[in-house]
Structure 1
Amino acid sequence: MADLKIEGLVKRFGEVRAVDDVSIHVADGEFVTLLGPSGCGKSTTLAAVAGLDRPDAGRITVGGKVYFDGSRGTYLPPEARGCGLVFQSYALWPHMTVADNVAFPLTLRKVKAAERKRRIAEVLALVEMEPYADRYPHMLSGGQQQRVALARTLVYQPSILLLDEPLSNLDAKLRDRARTWLAELRTRLGLTTIYVTHDQIEALSLSDRIVVMNGGRIAQLGTPQDIYERPADPFVADFIGTTNFLPARVAAVAGGAATLELADGQRVDIAAERPPESGAQVMLAFRPEQMRVAASGEGATPDGSVITARVLSRSYVGGRWQVGLDLGGGPLRLEIETPPHADAVRLWLPRSGCILFRGAANAAA
């Protein structure tokens, strides 16, 4: 195993900077996910590490071995890097059995027959595909093919593992099972891993750290809990999970707290380490699960505020209801077990745990 260092990485396609000065240090044995929407630069970054794309500038090293150094003109071809890469499409040879597919990289490396046999058996056991060694890819489910593709990568003992949306071709239930299996496998392997996905659930459940990318740059790098609970900007807050945004004006500031006036004149009190000055335009961000329907007669308390919103829609999503609300022109989403029956609902919003972003123009689209 080895650590991975990406320093000042730049990759251009014409006038577009697909990767724009990206620097990441992945520790030995760490599982780091590159997360973001299509076109954010995550797959291009992975391809640069694998050697499939030659960057325009920067430096990439794995365990002290230089993969790429733009300033010195160093570029190691993919076959010399020792990376394990699993693609979105499994790219299995249809005319080869599972065992033969797994054996293929060892054959290319001229590994002796006895050692090949041992490694194939070992890695098929690791991915729980031993009973399928003599089957062909068309005889396997998507999840099983994904395991074979991973086994083919692990069998030659790569220095780092690169996974490019390996679960995206699976249906929802199979994807959920594969995610659980992959989480167990990564714990057993302890292999330095870069995982690319646009799926936030995969990122949150699998990663030691997440790199959220936007427009070729790193928007935020942190643990799953940091990313979810303390997003760096409205883009991260909106992309990870579901977030409600309300434009507001700071009506008053006192002792690490701010009183906000919403668009319809209602006021809420929010704790803030560094509250903006009085009169500033801000964006209040909070998760649907942070709100609840206020009890009958319940009013504002030192722990939270009560506001009234108009009910727009009710959708049953299995065990819970998603309720669409309008608060002075600002849309909200609430998740509760019992839907409201009235046209308006009183909501309790906690004083702590919400986030203030400066400037109403920073609202997520």
Structure 2
Amino acid sequence: MADLLIEGLTKRFGGVTAVDNVSLHVADGEFVTLLGPSGCGKSTTLAAVAGLDRADGGRIQVGDTVYFDAARGLYRPPEARSCGLVFQSYALWPHMTVADNVAFPLTLRKVPGPERKRRIEEVLALVEMERYAARYPHELSGGQQQRVALARTLVYHPAILLLDEPLSNLDAKLRDRARAWLGELRTRLRLTTIYVTHDQIEALALSDRIVVMNGGRIAQVGAPQEIYDHPADPFVADFIGTTNFLPARVLTGAPEGGKAVLELADGQRLEVRAERPATAGSRVTLAYRPEQMRIAAEGATGATDGGAVLRTRITSRAYVGGLWQVGLDLAGAPLRLETRQPPRGEELHLWLPQAGGILFRGGADAAA
């Protein structure tokens, strides 16, 4: 195993900068996820590490081996890099059995027969596919084929593992099972891993750290709970989980950790604990997760239970099994509430906590 160091990585396609001065250190044995929407640069970063795309600038090093250094004109081709790469397409040889597919990279490397046999048995047991060694890919489910693709990568003991949307071709239930299995395998292997996905659940469930990318740059790096609870900006807050954004004006300012009074567009007011300094008269956007909000008790008005009760209008309601997802309009801002209580009528009194919301500078545009 080895650590991965990326410094100032830049990749352009014509006039488009797909990866813009990205720097990242992945420790030995760490599982790091590159997360973001399509076109954010995550797969391009992975391809540059694998050597499939030659970067325009920066440096990539794994352990003591330099893979790429633009300043020195150094570029190591993919076959000379000890990277294990698994794509979203399984890319198995249809005319080969499972065992032969897994053996293929060892055959290319001229690994002796007895050692080759030992490694194949070992890695198929690791991915729980030893019973299927004699089967062909068309005789396997999508999840089983993905396990074979992973086994074929692990069998030659790569220094780092690169996974590019490996579960995206699976249906929802199979994807959940595959994610749980991959999490268990990750714990056993402790192999330095870069995982690319646009699926926030996968990122939160599997990662030691998450790298959120936007427009070719890193928006935030942190542990899953840190990213979820303390997003650096509205983009991260909106991309990780579901977030409600409330544009407001600061009536009473507060330092970091102090209490600020905000006024919404319809004149309703609430007091919040400011995680960031809030300046009187400034425009801000207040962000809440759906699970932080609740329907207020019957007859509750004004500040109560360490929060504020505000009038909202119900715009939609849907029962999704155990929960109601309720669309609300609060001072012109669309909100989503999740509750076990069936909503009644056309209006709803909503409780928002004083602490837990996040203040971002700027109005509605900050959350766009």
TM range (shorter): over 0.9
Alignment partners' CA distance in 2, 1:259 and 1:11: 45
1:141 is aligned to: 141
2:296 is aligned to: 294
2:37 is aligned to: 37
2:312 is aligned to: 309
Give the CA deviation at 1:363: 3.4
Give the CA deviation at 1:272: 1.0
Give the CA deviation at 1:361: 4.6
- For the 8 Å contact 1:251–1:259, the answer to whether it is kept is yes
Alignment partners' CA distance in 1, 2:254 and 2:63: 51
Query: Which consecutive residues of structure 2, in runs of 5 or more, have no partner in the other structure?
Result: none
Give the CA deviation at 1:274: 3.4
Q: Deviations over 1:187-235 (max 9, x none)?
A: 0000000000000000000000000000000011111001101001111
Match runs of 1:272-283 below 5 Å: 272-283=274-285
Give the CA deviation at 1:64: 1.7
1:320 is aligned to: 323
Amino acid at match of 1:126: L
Alignment partners' CA distance in 2, 1:277 and 1:140: 61
Q: Deviations over 1:283-308 (max 9, x none)?
A: 01010000001112334136111111
2:22 is aligned to: 22
- For the 8 Å contact 1:234–1:362, the answer to whether it is kept is no
Aligned to 1:363, the other structure's residue is in SS state helix
Q: Deviations over 1:97-152 (max 9, x none)?
A: 00000000000000000000000000000000010000000000000000000000
More displaced stretch, 165-174 vs 312-321 = 312-321
Is 2:184 the partner of 1:181? no
Match runs of 1:164-175 below 5 Å: 164-175=164-175
2:367 is aligned to: 364
Alignment partners' CA distance in 2, 1:248 and 1:259: 10
Alignment partners' CA distance in 1, 2:16 and 2:276: 36
Alignment partners' CA distance in 2, 1:172 and 1:201: 12
Is 2:350 the partner of 1:351? no
Number of aligned residue pairs: give it. 365
Give the CA deviation at 1:254: 4.5
Match runs of 1:219-298 below 5 Å: 219-254=219-254, 256-298=258-300
TM-score after normalising by structure 1: 0.99
Match runs of 1:107-186 below 5 Å: 107-186=107-186
Amino acid at match of 1:103: A
Amino acid at match of 1:293: I
More displaced stretch, 300-309 vs 65-74 = 300-309
Match runs of 1:70-109 below 5 Å: 70-109=70-109
Give the CA deviation at 1:253: 2.3
More displaced stretch, 352-361 vs 121-130 = 352-361
Aligned to 2:248, the other structure's residue is in SS state strand
Alignment partners' CA distance in 2, 1:232 and 1:347: 26
Match runs of 1:59-70 below 5 Å: 59-70=59-70
Name the Cα RMSD after superposition. 0.9
Alignment partners' CA distance in 2, 1:41 and 1:191: 23
Query: Which consecutive residues of structure 1, in runs of 5 or more, have no partner in the other structure?
Result: none
- For the 8 Å contact 2:209–2:223, the answer to whether it is kept is yes
Alignment partners' CA distance in 1, 2:253 and 2:196: 42
**% identical aligned pairs:** 78
Aligned to 2:253, the other structure's residue is in SS state strand
Alignment partners' CA distance in 2, 1:76 and 1:253: 55
Amino acid at match of 1:88: Q
